């Protein structure tokens, strides 16, 4: 058996296509590293992986999480010869019908290799006739069949029926490394997922306020990173205690500015890690208007302190749609586990809704910002999540 992977957007990549395909092949080898892999090759818009039937399900499950793949199909490969194709049609269809009762079908031949003498419409007729003569209970329905029987004619010939939808996007690693500010909430894991889907290789930065937040809270964030890593590959998670900074803010600044000043420190620390470790983007789960710190003023105030590229892929989404993605990718159940977040520990009753950058800067004049940032960065713990 073979597994075929449809590459979708990747095949449009012009001169860069090979770079993208090679990255995807590396990612395939990484997720299937425990498998005894045979050949992985590419033929006209698809990648093929030779696979023993008993490894099919397990491999497809892992491959489904790889970005850059649009569809996954289990298929068989034949020599490009009309008699062979006809002969193999009946057992292939019989194998399918054993597990999937059906009344109607449609044949879809696609002759990519124009040197093959029989054109696609004629092939459809020949294979359709073959099926009808062996399975008298089946009928052709070209509009709404119970199943499609695909026959791709390339260097070899491939038969397949199922097309399992994957996530599409671009292979992780084709858009450099980015650092996602990962809280324990619903939004930031989705933000990391979405940027991973555009090819960014993700690491994570988490802030806690131990002992006000619990060890289990940090474990929960590691769990989220672990789920993300099934899509994006191994993640390094930097974990930093924000409590020393929050205490300084509490001592020297107006309390209603706590949230937004904390967010400015988070961004500064993120920037510093970008500079030190070579990340080219910061990623947040910010969403316009969701909470006080995410008004236009709040976003402006937290963006103001960094000059790195900041991605906010959720900025214009509705909460229900974010939740739907979180459920689909498997982070939701973990995100809603109730643990204190570092921001809720020091949550002002009346957070400022229109924080101006001048006000923030005036408040921060009471703090040794650079020293606090440097100390926080130096105190980080880094875990490898795989
Ligand atoms: P989320 O669901 O991602 O927690 P949120 O709706 O709670 O988001 P905020 O608390 O305002 O929103 O946080 C906005 C963004 O700031 C988060 O999406 C995340 O990227 C970052 N952030 C907030 N708290 C933390 C934290 N404790 N550690 C790391 N990043 C954080
Ligand atoms: Mg949150």
Instruction: Give the residue-averaged pLDDT of 275-295.
Output: 92
Structure confidence at residue 172 as a pLDDT band (50, 70, 90):
very high
Q: Is the CB of 188 under 6 A from ligand 1?
A: yes
At residue 169, does pLDDT exceed 80?
Answer: yes
Cα–Cα distance between 369 and 257 in angstroms, integer? 15
Handedness of CA 327, 263, 305, 358 (dihedral sign): positive
Instruction: Give the residue-averaged pLDDT of 156-160.
Output: 98
For the entire predicted model, the pTM comes to 0.94
Give the per-residue pLDDT at 45: 87
Give the per-residue pLDDT at 342: 79
Handedness of CA 330, 265, 178, 30 (dihedral sign): negative
Instruction: Give the residue-averaged pLDDT of 272-297.
Output: 92
Instruction: Give the residue-averaged pLDDT of 370-375.
Output: 98
At residue 151, does pLDDT exceed 80?
Answer: yes
Give the mutation target among 178, 179, 180, 181 for probing the ligand 1 site: most ligand atoms within 8 A of CB: 181
**What pLDDT, in 10s, does the model give residues 95-115?**
999 999 999 999 999 999 999
Contacts of 195-198 with CB under 8 Å at 24 or more apart are 195/281, 195/283, 195/311, 195/313, 196/67, 196/169, 196/172, 196/228, 196/231, 196/232, 197/67, 197/167, 197/168, 197/169, 197/170, 197/231, 198/169, 198/170
Q: Tell me which ligand sits closest to the C-alpha of residue 259.
A: 1
Structure confidence at residue 14 as a pLDDT band (50, 70, 90):
confident
Instruction: Give the residue-averaged pLDDT of 293-312.
Output: 93
Structure confidence at residue 77 as a pLDDT band (50, 70, 90):
very high
CA 206 to ligand 2 centroid distance, Å? 11
DSSP string, 38-58: --EEEETTEEEEE--GGGHHH
Helix axes 296-303, 357-364, angle to 10 degrees: 50
Identify the residue whose C-alpha is closest to ligand 1 atom 21.
181
Give the per-residue pLDDT at 10: 76
Higher-scoring residue by pLDDT: 45, 65 = 65
Give the per-residue pLDDT at 287: 95
Structure confidence at residue 4 as a pLDDT band (50, 70, 90):
very high
Instruction: Give the residue-averaged pLDDT of 177-195.
Output: 97
Higher-scoring residue by pLDDT: 374, 13 = 374
Handedness of CA 287, 293, 296, 300 (dihedral sign): negative
Residue with tokens 């229900």: 320
Structure confidence at residue 259 as a pLDDT band (50, 70, 90):
very high
Give the per-residue pLDDT at 184: 93
Give the per-residue pLDDT at 94: 97
CA 285 to ligand 1 centroid distance, Å? 6
Atom of ligand 1 minimally distant from the CA of 298: 11
Contact criterion met (CB below 8 Å) for 341 and 217: yes
Q: Is the CB of 182 under 6 A from ligand 1?
A: yes
Identify the residue whose C-alpha is closest to ligand 1 atom 4.
185
Higher-scoring residue by pLDDT: 9, 205 = 205
Give the per-residue pLDDT at 16: 83
Q: Is 293 helix (H, G, I), strand (E, B) or coil?
A: helix
Give the residues across from 106 on adjacent strands.
148
Atom of ligand 1 minimally distant from the CA of 284: 20
Identify the residue whose C-alpha is closest to ligand 1 atom 8.
187
Q: Tell me which ligand sits closest to the C-alpha of residue 207.
A: 1
Q: Is the CB of 336 under 6 A from ligand 1?
A: no
Give the per-residue pLDDT at 291: 77
At residue 13, does pLDDT exceed 80?
Answer: no
Q: Tell me which ligand sits closest to the C-alpha of residue 269.
A: 1
At residue 346, does pLDDT exceed 90?
Answer: no
At residue 348, does pLDDT exceed 90?
Answer: no
Q: Is the CB of 286 under 6 A from ligand 1?
A: yes
Q: Is the CB of 186 under 6 A from ligand 1?
A: yes
Give the mutation target among 180, 183, 376 for probing the ligand 1 site: most ligand atoms within 8 A of CB: 183
At residue 343, does pLDDT exceed 80?
Answer: no
Q: Is the CB of 146 under 6 A from ligand 1?
A: no
Instruction: Give the residue-averaged pLDDT of 11-34.
Output: 89
Atom of ligand 1 minimally distant from the CA of 342: 27
């Amino acid at each position: 058996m073979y597994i075929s992977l449809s590459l979708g957007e990747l095949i449009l990549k012009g001169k860069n296509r090979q770079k993208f395909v090679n990255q995807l092949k590396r990612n395939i080898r990484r997720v299937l590293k425990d498998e005894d892999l045979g050949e992985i090759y590419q033929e006209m818009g698809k990648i093929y992986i030779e696979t023993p039937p008993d490894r099919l399900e397990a491999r497809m499950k892992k491959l489904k999480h790889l970005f850059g793949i649009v569809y996954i199909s289990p298929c068989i490969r034949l020599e490009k010869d009309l008699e062979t194709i006809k002969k193999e049609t009946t057992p292939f269809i019989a194998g399918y019908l054993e597990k999937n009762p059906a009344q109607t079908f449609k044949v879809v031949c696609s002759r990519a290799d124009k040197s093959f003498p029989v054109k696609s419409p004629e092939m459809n007729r020949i294979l359709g006739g073959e099926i009808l003569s062996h399975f008298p209970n089946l009928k052709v329905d070209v509009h709404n069949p119970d199943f499609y029987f695909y026959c791709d004619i390339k260097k070899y010939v491939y038969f397949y029926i199922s097309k399992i939808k994957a996530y599409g996007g671009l292979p992780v690693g084709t858009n450099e490394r980015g650092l996602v500010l990962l809280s324990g909430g619903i939004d930031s894991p989705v933000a990391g997922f979405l940027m991973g889907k555009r090819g960014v290789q993700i690491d994570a930065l988490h802030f806690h306020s131990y002992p006000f937040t619990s060890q289990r809270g940090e474990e929960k964030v590691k769990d989220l990173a672990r789920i993300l890593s099934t899509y994006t590959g191994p993640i390094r998670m930097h974990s930093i205690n924000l409590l020393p900074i929050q205490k300084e803010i509490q001592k020297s600044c107006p309390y209603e500015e706590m949230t937004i000043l904390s967010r400015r420190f988070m961004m500064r620390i993120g920037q510093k890690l970008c500079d030190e470790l070579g990340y080219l983007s910061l990623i947040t789960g910010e969403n316009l208007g969701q909470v006080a710190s995410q008004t236009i003023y709040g976003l402006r105030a937290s963006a103001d302190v960094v000059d790195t590229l900041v991605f906010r892929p959720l900025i214009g989404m509705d909460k229900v749609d974010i939740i739907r993605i979180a459920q689909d990718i498997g982070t939701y159940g973990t995100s809603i586990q109730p643990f204190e977040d570092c921001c809720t520990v020091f949550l002002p009753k009346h957070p400022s809704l229109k924080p101006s950058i001048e006000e923030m800067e005036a408040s921060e004049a009471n703090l040794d910002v650079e020293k606090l940032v440097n100390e926080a960065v130096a105190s980080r713990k880094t875990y490898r999540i795989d």
